[in-house]
Structures are given as structure tokens and as C-alpha cells.
Amino acid sequence: MFLYFTRHTLFYSLGNFIVLEGTDGSGKSTLASFLQKEFSPEKLTVTQAFASPIASKVKPLLISDEATMASVESRFLLSFAAHVDHVTNTALPLLDTGVSVVSDRFDASNFAYQVYGESALHLAPLFWELRTQLLSTHVPDLYIFLDVPPEKGLERATQTGKILDFFEKRGGPYHERVREGYVEFFKNVPHIVIDANRPLEAVQQEVLAIVQEHTR
């Protein structure tokens, strides 16, 4: 059993930290862009999980074909370090000014992709220990899990026409494990599940209502 507290439990903070999570093709980035248009920058800002200066240097390494040259453990630690830097240097400064932050991915992705996707379950205890030691005061106020069948997500990803990255090139079994990782992560962490295997507008309106409720 894992026990965590949100920032509001420990500190007074004006903004809310909201995270969009899901497998590739679940629509996170599309929803993030939609939400940014629905709110003024003074009320809500959308960020990428690798938006901070240090984290932005890590992402190209993780999604490149050269990622295969690094061990699973190395990729896991790089990804976790990037998330810590992201919340410390991007999210928290905004939250402390009263601006709510929606992050396109955060630590759940590390668990789903690097631990379960890579069949590196031996890293799970380390993940939870690092989360306790490094993120216990930075835990998001809300996780929104955009759930879509992995095969549907991959179909969407390939239809965009963009060059697929290291993760998107992985086969169906890998992405099945990633989804399993999300399910396992959220057994321990409060969240809201959204059925993302629906028309985009329906998903947008449901997520918008949830975010509005949490940014009043």
C-alpha cells in the first residue's frame, strides 16, 4: 500500500496540477491544445512533460533510435529525472502564482513505459521509492487517464503521417504492457478514467467539464 498527499495537503498553493495520461494515440496532445484554447493563460497553462530546459534535452535521447543503446535502467532514471526537473522548474513556479497547470504526461508514463512496457518489473519498487522521496510534495491534484485500446491508439498514431518515434515503433505487445502499467499505477493513485475510444468532441467536452470543476 502506498500513501501520498497532494500539494494542497502539505502546502497552501493557488493553482491546481492536472495531468493527462494515456498510451500513444489516446489523444493527449490534441486535448492539451484544446484545453489551452479554452482557458486564458492567467488561469491555466498547458505544458509538455519534457518542457523544462533540462528535461527538453532528455526527451530527444529517449525517443531516438539510439535509445536502444542504453539499458532499461538508464532510460528509466533519465525519464524520472526529467519529470522531477519538469515539476520543479516548470509546473511549480506557475502553480505558486495561482495558474493551474495541465501537463501532457508525468510520472505515470515513466511507470507504464519504462517499467511495464520494458518488462522491467524489478524497477517498480525503486519507482515508488523515488516517487516518495522526490515527488511526495509535488504529486498532481488530478490525473486524467485517457483509456483507449492499444491497437486503436497505434492505428491513430500511424494515420497522422508523422515520423514515428522509438516508442511508437514498438509492436502491439509492448503497448499492451504499457496499458497494463497504467492500470497498475492507478491502483495506487487517485484518478479519473475517460473512455477515449469515442468521437473527439465527446472526449473534449467531458475532459473540459472535469478541468473546469478542478480549476474554479
Binding-site positions read: 22-29
Known binding-site residue numbers for ATP: 22-29
DSSP 148-188: --HHHHHHHHHHT-SPP-TTTTS-HHHHHHHHHHHHHHTTT
* Nearest of 112, 102, 210, 95 to residue 170 by alpha carbon: 112
Give backbone dihedrals phi and psi of 146, rounded to 5 degrees, phi first: -85, 100
Q: Residue 147 has what DSSP assignment?
A: E
Residue 68 half-sphere exposure, CB side, CA atoms within 13 Å?
6
